[in-house]
Copies of this chain bind each other. A is one copy, B any other.
């Protein structure tokens, strides 16, 4: 089994109102940052996964995102995988 490190970025789908992002943007405009706009807040998830190969690891993480980590109705996610170590030498 190999170990992979995955980073996942989860963003609200276009067209869905990002209340948290709008609030932070208003607060920025009210302080010293009127030049910042289009602020949207999503989630950033890091995890390690054990799998036979990168393809299996990717489909496991994708499955976990779809079932539990993200909300596929309202959110998009993208996964990036890196192999950490090879134990089957």
Q: Which residues of A contact B (CB under 8 A)?
A: 9-11, 21, 24-25, 27-28, 31-33, 35-51, 60-61, 63-64, 67-69
Contacts and interface: CB of A to CB of B under 8 A. Distances in A.
A38 B15 CA distance: 33
Contact of A46 (B31, B38, B64, B68): B38
Contacts of A27: 68
Chain A interface mostly: strand
A35 B49 contact: yes
Contacts of A46: 11, 38-40, 42
Contacts of A64: 28, 33, 36
B35 A51 contact: yes
